[in-house]
Amino acid sequence: MTIFNTPILSAFLRLISNLTMRLFGWKVEGTLPDLPKYVIIGAPHTSNWDFLLFLGVIFRLKVKVRYMGKAELFRSLFGWFFYYCGGVPVDRTKSQGLVEQMVEACEKAKQFILVIAPEGTRHGVKEWKRGFYHIAKNTGMPIVMAKVDGRRKTIHVGQVFHLTENIEADMQAIQDAFKGIVGVHPQKKYILLNN
């Protein structure tokens, strides 16, 4: 049970989320695939408000998702809350790497939809981190794109990408799909994709 599928509470939060997005002029275009497991990559990540947009999209599309969080968060007084919001703790001190931990979590679940911001930061980057790619590759999950179009206040979702054996070509194709898309704060240069 998470915040996304709790009876009554989830419906109430969905209503609030939809009203808030409408109030601020944001909309969601597209649908998510009817698959039990995949990785959603959301970009560009240019603002702390992206988390609220993420919640708005998830509530709007009525899907239960997971995200990675530092293990320390889940051991704190509010650890239950991070679990309740779909968090999966990742222990960076373990010999088993982040990718392996996420692969293990995926294999234990019947349904596993993981959301990742591939830049790993709100600032412009020269290249994306590749953890999302390795998680998808090692689990056989496809990648689903969520594009944050700040100019049109629209989140485009649903484009599915199936990985091949060529990581460089795959990464280029995935990043090319986001060309020209700017986030909530377009003034934050998205170095790799918009140059």
What is the per-residue pLDDT for 119?
77
E strands in the chain: 27-29, 37-43, 67-70, 87-90, 112-116, 143-149, 154-161
Q: Which residues contact 177 (CB under 8 A, 6 or more apart)?
A: 145, 147, 159, 161
Q: Can you tell me the distance from the alpha carbon of 64 to that of 59, in angstroms, rounded to the nearest whole number?
A: 9
> How many percent of the chain have pLDDT more than 70?
88
* 86-117 pLDDT tens trace: 999 988 777 568 899 999 999 999 999 999 98
Residue 41 lies in a domain: yes
Residue 2 lies in a domain: no
| Average of per-residue pLDDT across 165-185 | 89
Residue 3 lies in a domain: no
What would the two tokens of residue 33 be?
A: 């695939």
What is the per-residue pLDDT for 180?
84
Q: Is the pLDDT of residue 126 over 70?
A: no
Residue 133 lies in a domain: yes
Residue 142 lies in a domain: yes
Total number of domains constituting the chain: 1
Residue 48 lies in a domain: yes
Residue 71: domain span: 9-194
Q: Is the pLDDT of residue 73 over 80?
A: yes
Residue 1 lies in a domain: no
Q: Is the pLDDT of residue 144 over 50?
A: yes
